[in-house]
Structure 1
């Protein structure tokens, strides 16, 4: 009746294959450069996208003054928005809060 079936499951050891390898950073860098070059040289849409993206990245990273100007501009916009919100909040509290307290009484 129980023939080949067992009541308890016996754990099985884990099997893995280990292939020792040597890490060569120069070879890895060369393979990465070759992979990016072959991707850039493709004639399909993905190749065109990667060429455009790499051009944008290289231009963006090359001109640090442009990046600093953009950061400064965005920080000024944030400061301007915060100041406007503070002034608006101050006006709302000073002008409309007394009227609202009179209305609720």
Structure 2
């Protein structure tokens, strides 16, 4: 009986997934509304929510994000300057120290 299964391979299992609509802006607005309500109510839950929001945003808040983006720009600028300098140094070294090498290639 096993020889009959040689020619009939099992089909792949089908998966019917129907995605639902998800609105991230609406979800964020709802979370913000709930956070504001918890802060207005005060008490222990309000304090917990305020601390949680502070950790979520980070220590510096928006200023830390600007500082980081400035540092990234400065780092990228330094990297470009270093690459240009290395290319110029390699070109000068090639022209001064390897003129015979250029004749061999050409």
Indicate the TM-score class for this superposition, using the shorter chain for normalisation.
Answer: 0.3 to 0.5
TM-score with structure 1 length normalisation? 0.41
TM-score with structure 2 length normalisation? 0.41
